[in-house]
Amino acid sequence: MRRIFYFLATNAAIMIVAGIIIQFLPAEYRTQDGQFLVIALVAGFGGSIVSLLMSKSIAKRAAGVYIIENPRNETEKWLLTTVARQAEQAGIGMPEVGIFDTPDMNAFATGASKNNALVAVSTGLLQNMTREEAEAVMGHEIAHVANGDMVTMALIQGVVNTFVLLLARALALAIDRDGRGIGYFLGFMAGQVVFGFLASIVVAFFSRQREYRADAGGAKYAGAHKMIAALEKLKRGQSGQLPDQLAAFGINNSVKSLFSTHPPLDARIEALRTAN
């Protein structure tokens, strides 16, 4: 989940800046359809591509990832060996391997390409999962890299960004047709927030589908029984509370599921059992 969170947060920040910059363009660029379509495409895909290129460095800083270069202990040596073996199986370059400090059982993979990736695992996962379960989690993350999920999500986000800008402009022009007054500015920025929030449902849907594929990859590289065991361990470790900011607004699970980037663990376990 951290992988998607960092990407989306970076993209959102870039798009807000792009939205502000658009306000300083001459009014004819904002009101003429053809010209604004080019602006929306450049800003929309530019935002997602920059987010992709920055994903690894931002994840390292945000999560406080320690990159394993010279293993300090047997666990770090095992991690490097496991990731190297799975990367070879997947036909990708050796990713950077790191550890971040949190009691949660968590891991993520990110990077701009299959041969320039990062796989990071939490201290909580290493402490609470068996080696077999952790191996499956590493396989899941390697599958994300091998499947090109970050690039795929960047392209999807680029399309979504473009539509958000176009819809925000439509709202702004409905308020101020000349595109010169404060009404246009406020309408455009409000439209970015509202339509961006709704567009996250689309991004979340595609993210959930990629998780099923990554689970299948984890089963391939480590064994289906290990992948199932890892998901069951994660399920037992859940608190049962809504794990994100939506909980603060009292949004129920059926609505929350639309915005979730990961499918329910029960559904993921059942998919693996059905496939095997």
Q: Give the torsion through C-alpha atoms of 101, 230, 84, 87, to 10 deg.
A: -120
Residue of 54, 45, 28, 5 lying closest to 164 (CA atoms): 45
Collect all residues with Cβ–Cβ distance below 8 Å to 154 and sequence separation of at least 6: 7, 48, 49, 51, 52
What secondary structure does DSSP assign to 224-246, as a single string?
Answer: HHHHHHHHHHHHHH--SS--SGG
The catalytically annotated residue of 96, 141, 232, 270 is 141
The number of beta carbons lying within 10 Å of the beta carbon of residue 137 is 26
Active site residue 74: no
Q: How many helices (H) and strands (E) does the chain have?
A: 11, 4
User: Which residue intervals of 91-243 are DSSP H helices?
Assistant: 123-128, 131-146, 149-175, 182-222, 224-237
Judging by beta carbons within 10 Å of its beta carbon (0-12, 13-18, 19+), is residue 242 exposed, middle or buried?
Answer: middle
The number of beta carbons lying within 10 Å of the beta carbon of residue 125 is 24
Residues classed as catalytic: 141
